[in-house]
Each structure stands twice: as structure tokens, then as C-alpha cells.
């Protein structure tokens, strides 16, 4: 019957049924995210918005100790955000949360082969281990710490290490639009979310043309823009 989208109609293919079930599920806020858009939880909100999932949120104030309450430590004993609760599943660690969301709800953002999984894991781990801490070090010692506490030597060391790490990403992106290939995937979201700290810290990426082009494209996506607007 035209215009009647009922799960019970026999004319639906199994694929259509799954899609409709997903749409119905998307209307139910089973997902709860802890953390504010202004910290690493930005990554989680960006992913949830990309996927069009319904969610509820508790924008815990880390400065006010809201991540150290007994109640929250029962959910995440590390006392960190982001933390995601999806029904009976609790996931923490920002990269892992997004890989989980991609696997469960990801559609076009999801990986489909073991090789794609390897790419997503490799670059997500790379962003956290090779880039994130160094960008933090650079930002702290160039602008976030009070001037008297900044150590220019630490900033220089971080800058040098970042130059070589970012060169690796730039080379990878020289001949492909995205890390996932020709379309934006969870790997791009995870890595771009970490790399967005270059903008926050004023780290100059203009020497890395491919990286710069890719990062701009990722951060201009409507979902990223929407969460950024909420953060400002």
C-alpha cells in the first residue's frame, strides 16, 4: 500500500525491515553520553550527530569534580569523559566509543572488511599515541599555561615530533580523499577530531597541504559544525 510503511507488510525486503527497525530505534534515546562538547566528548557528539542517533546527555563539569562522584565512578571507574551508555553496554575511551558506534550503527561510516578495521584501529591508535599528547604539550607551553610556567624547550620538542608525525598523515592523504578511501569513515572522524586540536592550539599545518585539505573537509561537515556551534 503506497505511503504505508508498516513493519508487517509482506512487500518489504529483509533489508528494508532492518532499515525501518533502525529508524524506529533512532527515535528512542537509549544512548546516554556523559561529558561536555568542549572537551574530548566533542568526538562522541560529532559521531552521534553523523549517525543521526537519538541520545540523552549529561554534560558533567570536570572542573567541579562531577566525574569523580561515586555514582559516575560506578559507570566509569577512571572518572573520565567521554563515557557512553547504550542500553546495557558501557564504553569509555573516545576512540573506542566511536569505533563501537560505527560497528553498531555506522552505515556508510562503518568498516566492512578486516582490512578496513585494521585501518580504523591503526590510525585511531596513531592519533592518540603519536599526536594527541604532543599537541597538548605544545598548546600548554605556547598558550594555555600562565606565561611564567611555559617551557619553550618542551614546546619546541613537541613541535618537532609533531612535524614528523603529521608528515606521515600528509603522505597518506596525498593520493586519497579520506583515510577510509574515497568516502568519509569513522577513521577520518576519529583522527580529524584529534587533529582539530591543531586549530585550537594554533599549530601551523599549512606545510602539510593534503592533511590541511582533508582536515578542513572533515571539520566542515554539518555534524561537526553543529557540535562546534554548541561548544562555542
Ligand X SMILES: N[C@@H](CCC(=O)N[C@@H](CS)C(=O)NCC(=O)O)C(=O)O
Quote the CA–CA distance of 79 and 160 in Å, as a whole number.
Answer: 32
Least separation in angstroms between residue 39's CB and ligand X is 4
CB of 209 to ligand X, least distance (A): 28
- Assess 39 for contact with ligand X (CB under 6 A): yes
> Is the Cβ of residue 19 or residue 68 nearer to ligand X in the bound state?
68
Interface residue with ligand X, options 20, 75, 79, 121 (CB under 6 A): 79
- The β-bridge partners of 219 are none
Neighbours of 17 (CB within 10 A): 13
- Binding-residue total with ligand X (CB under 6 A): 11
Alpha-helical segments (H) within 1-81: 14-26, 41-51, 70-75
- Smaller CB distance to ligand X: residue 35 or 212? 35
User: Is the Cβ of residue 96 or residue 223 nearer to ligand X in the bound state?
Assistant: 96
SS3 (DSSP) at 86: strand
Residue closer to ligand X (CB basis): 81 or 102: 81
81 binds ligand X (CB under 6 A): yes
Rounded Cα–Cα distance for residues 110 and 163 (Å): 30
Torsion, Cα of 188, 36, 139, 65 (10° steps): -140
| 134 makes contact with ligand X (CB under 6 A) | no
Give me the residues that bind ligand X (CB under 6 A), please: 39-40, 62, 67-68, 79-82, 93-94
Amino acid at each position: 500500500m503506497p505511503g504505508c510503511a508498516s513493519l508487517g507488510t509482506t512487500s518489504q525486503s529483509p533489508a528494508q525491515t532492518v532499515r525501518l527497525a533502525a529508524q524506529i530505534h533512532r527515535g528512542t534515546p537509549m544512548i546516554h553520553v556523559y561529558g561536555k562538547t568542549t572537551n574530548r566528548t566533542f568526538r562522541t557528539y560529532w559521531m552521534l550527530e553523523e549517525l543521526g542517533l537519538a541520545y540523552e546527555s549529561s554534560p558533567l563539569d570536570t572542573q567541579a569534580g562531577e566525574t569523580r562522584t561515586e555514582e559516575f565512578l560506578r559507570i566509569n571507574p577512571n572518572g573520565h569523559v567521554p563515557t557512553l551508555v547504550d542500553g546495557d553496554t558501557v564504553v569509555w575511551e573516545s576512540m573506542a566509543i566511536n569505533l563501537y558506534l560505527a560497528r553498531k550503527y555506522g552505515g556508510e561510516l562503518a568498516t566492512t572488511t578486516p582490512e578496513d578495521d585494521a585501518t580504523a584501529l591503526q590510525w585511531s591508535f596513531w592519533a592518540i599515541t603519536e599526536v594527541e599528547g604532543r599537541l597538548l604539550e605544545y598548546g600548554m607551553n605556547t598558550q594555555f599555561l600562565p606565561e611564567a610556567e611555559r617551557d619553550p624547550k618542551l614546546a619546541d620538542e613537541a613541535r618537532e615530533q609533531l612535524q614528523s608525525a603529521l608528515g606521515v598523515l600528509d603522505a597518506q592523504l596525498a593520493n586519497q580523499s579520506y583515510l577510509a578511501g574515497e568516502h568519509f569513515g569513522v577513521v577520518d572522524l576519529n583522527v580529524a577530531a584529534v587533529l582539530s586540536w591543531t586549530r585550537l592550539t594554533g599549530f601551523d599545518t599549512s606545510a602539510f597541504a593534503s592533511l590541511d585539505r582533508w582536515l578542513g573537509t572533515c571539520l566542515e561537515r554539518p555534524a561537526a559544525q553543529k557540535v562546534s556551534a554548541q561548544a562555542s
